[in-house]
Structure 1
Amino acid sequence: MNARFKLLCFVFAGLLLLPTLDQLLGLSSRFSSTENRAISGIPPLNFPHVRSFVRQFDRYYKENFGWRNALFYGYSRWKLNLLGQSPLPEKVVVGKNGWFFLGNSYNRVVDQHRGLQPLSPDSARYIASHLAQRQQELARQGIRLYVLIAPDSHSIYPENLPDHLQPAPGPTRLDVLREAVSATSVPFIDIRDTLRAEKRRHVVYYQTDTHWNDYGTLIGSAALLNRIRQDQPTRPPILLSDFRIEKQRGGGGDLVTMMTVQNERKDEVFYYIQPNANRVARQTATVPNPASGFPSTRFTGPGVGRLLFIGDSFSHSMMPFMAAYFQESFFVRDKKLDTSLVSAERPDIVVVEVVERNISNLATL
């Protein structure tokens, strides 16, 4: 019994020391964090603010203790593969048929589509009025404004959401806003119906990622340019024949990467799209953008006019498609339309793109 007790004590002490040894020696360094979260650094100790330091250090240790990433790696596979549940339910929703969706930690996106976070008519009218005001400011400078909404995958593939998270019947937040904006002259491009029709022939969103795939991006870009062509009929349209489209096997996107299963859960379809020689734009500059943390990108192309494109992550994949239809274009990742940027760029057209779950951001554009 004495030998067993000593062995048990030795093993227990070793288990207690393992996290510290890992932090000192990097024993589990091959398991990196993929949870798409900001990692806290060691907080400074500033007297007399000891209590604040304790709270900050507690958070730091919970996010960085030894073997944390390795333990999450095993837990994620147990939860997903054996129980069919998300190890990060607030970040990733496990859907049907190999589909994954963004969870509520991102602007309550699931609750939005379930009708639990409605957009009031008053808020919608305020946003519409604000957009109309920005449109008038730009019109006085001879600039046209277009607002593009990139749909959430929840709107395009609701049939792949879990049964208990199906969208609510009735008007969505975007429906309410579109109705309010229709009372103004602001070009408001809602492409949900276009993408829903196109998905009957092609997959238009990644199954394992938060974004539309390149084919969905091409369809969205074409819809945007078609709306611009209503005001400028001489501008050529985006034609599928202008691009070489190849269908391949995909990789794992950001949603499965957060769960560390990107090598096991992959998209069934991946599109490789290459424009023809007459529809190629040339990237001429990359400009740091400290405000957003993402660089802005400048292009020259065979088209006409100057484009200023303000958007989020959905706009990134639109750059090679849209830039070729303008002579000069500048793509900026931002939530606001900076008047000084407009004055410096002197565009003919300003496009503001925002993903559906963030349409409230248009109130402060």
Structure 2
Amino acid sequence: MRYTPLVLLALVCIAALVLGVSAKWIGARHPIPESTPAGDAVSDACTPPVAAPASEPWLAGDGSAEKVWQEHSEELSKPYIQGPNGWTFWGDYVDQYASQAVGRATLTQTQISAWVSYFSTLQRDLAASGADLQIVITPSTSSVYPEELPTWMQELRGSTPADQFMSQASGLPVIDLRQKLIDAKTDDVHLFSWSNSHWTDYGGYIGWKQIADCINARHPVAAALRVPAISGHKVIGDFNEWASYGVASPGEDWAAPVFADQLEDVTYTDKSGATVTGPGSTVIDSSVLPVTTQVAASWTGKSALVVRDSMGGAISPYLDQAYSPTWQVANQFGAADPLDVRALVAQHHPGVVIIQFAERHLISPPASAGG
């Protein structure tokens, strides 16, 4: 009888082990975001919790969500989908965009681990080189304006690949812009365009506010990033990304900030070696990358390697003011020939490495931990 407590303890341990293995196995197939604990100043600035979906229709296992999806197969066969108010989104033609938007396309635990391993290994190696890493995930339009998706899709929304990744990225220097952009929405200005898959220049300005707050919170003793004062916004045009498909735009909605603060002129050198000097408000489109920029006196006194995509254009004016020089190059997530970030760091010796990529690229994790 004196061994009874030990026997009971052993049985409890075995039961816990079995339950733990089962939970891990289920999570490997369908990783579900864990609840986010109360944050500190850094997490509040960098990764504010995103409201959880009302339900998880794709994890229910009864097949009803997929049945509804297939009922709309003709609509989904086009490269784009349209919501009730004229907003246009990519369909699954681009990175399974529509399926990602509702959580039909998810990441396995192996894929999540590939992202975490890639960034954690890169962070460690960059720290050894004296470079600081910042990861900026720019949201999809569907994450900020889900109410503009087709009505039937809104009813199928569950956890997305972004939710999955963020649930396991607590040790990484990630900036998740979704919730603060959602909170900043108003009826008088679009942060994302109804006729383009990118955020507007004004949306980029709102995103930069959080980026600056986050990096300043992480490095409170460093020279601070700034947010230029603005007097409002203006609509500068209609950049209809789906015009070639015969899709009509509801009208001009591309909003840009009207700066009250003067931005320094920036000297730009493109891949051909041509150098020009232009206004600090200039947006650097991804089509002209790689580009080197310089200003007379940057906000931080540091240089930066910026690995970015087309979503990085809207924040490029602030990056150009914050760091000098910057070396801005296109990221290659999902490409067969991945970008060698370490080689670029060895070449340029930047003080900061900023990796910015669109949320939709999460569906294509890096093939290895190298970068």
1:119-157 deviations in Å (ceiling 9; x for gaps): 123321232122100110100001111111111101111
Q: Pick the aligned partner of 2:182 from 196, 201, 226.
A: 196
Distance 1:169 1:87 in 2: 17
The reply to whether residue 122 of structure 1 matches residue 125 of structure 2 is: no
Partner of 1:223: 210
In the alignment, residue 292 of structure 2 is paired with which amino acid?
R
Partner of 2:291: 297
Partner of 1:307: 304
In the alignment, residue 206 of structure 1 is paired with which amino acid?
S
Partner of 1:25: none
Post-superposition shift, 1:329?
1.2
CA contact (8 A) 1:214 1:317 kept: yes
The reply to whether residue 269 of structure 1 matches residue 253 of structure 2 is: yes
Q: Pick the aligned partner of 2:356 from 340, 353, 356.
A: 353
Task: Give every structure 1 segment of 4 or more consecutive aligned residues whose post-TM-superposition deviation is greater than 6 Å.
Answer: none
Q: 1:132 to 1:346 in 2, by over 3 A?
A: same
Post-superposition shift, 1:266?
4.3
Q: Give the 3-state SS of the residue equivalent to 1:329 in structure 2.
A: strand
1:14-50 deviations in Å (ceiling 9; x for gaps): xxxxxxxxxxxxxxxxxxxxxxxxxxxxxxxxxxxxx
CA contact (8 A) 1:88 1:259 kept: no
Deviates more, 1:348-357 or 1:110-119: 110-119
Post-superposition shift, 1:105?
0.5
Q: Give the 3-state SS of the residue equivalent to 1:181 in structure 2.
A: coil
Distance 2:180 2:166 in 1: 15
Distance 1:282 1:362 in 2: 34
In the alignment, residue 355 of structure 1 is paired with which amino acid?
A
1:180-259 matched pairs, under 5 angstroms: 180-182=168-170, 184=171, 186-200=172-186, 202-233=189-220, 234-241=222-229, 243-248=230-235, 250-255=237-242, 257-259=243-245
Which has a greater percent of helix? 1
Q: Pick the aligned partner of 1:143 from 131, 139, 142.
A: 131
CA contact (8 A) 1:310 1:351 kept: yes
Q: Pick the aligned partner of 2:149 from 153, 157, 161.
A: 161
Partner of 1:280: 264
1:73-116 deviations in Å (ceiling 9; x for gaps): xxxxxxxxxxxxx9995321111212111111001110122222
CA contact (8 A) 1:158 1:167 kept: no
Distance 1:362 1:244 in 2: 40
The percent of aligned pairs where both chains have the same amino acid is 22
Q: 1:139 to 1:168 in 2, by over 3 A?
A: farther
Distance 2:183 2:340 in 1: 32
TM-score by length of 1: 0.68
TM-score by length of 2: 0.67
Q: 1:248 to 1:339 in 2, by over 3 A?
A: same
Q: Give the 3-state SS of the residue equivalent to 1:327 in structure 2.
A: strand
CA contact (8 A) 1:208 1:254 kept: yes
Tell me the matched-pair count: 273
Distance 2:104 2:272 in 1: 38
Post-superposition shift, 1:246?
3.0
Q: Which has the higher contact order (CA 8 A, sep 6+)?
A: 2
Post-superposition shift, 1:190?
0.7
Q: 1:317 to 1:293 in 2, by over 3 A?
A: closer
Distance 1:101 1:216 in 2: 17
CA-atom RMSD in angstroms: 2.7
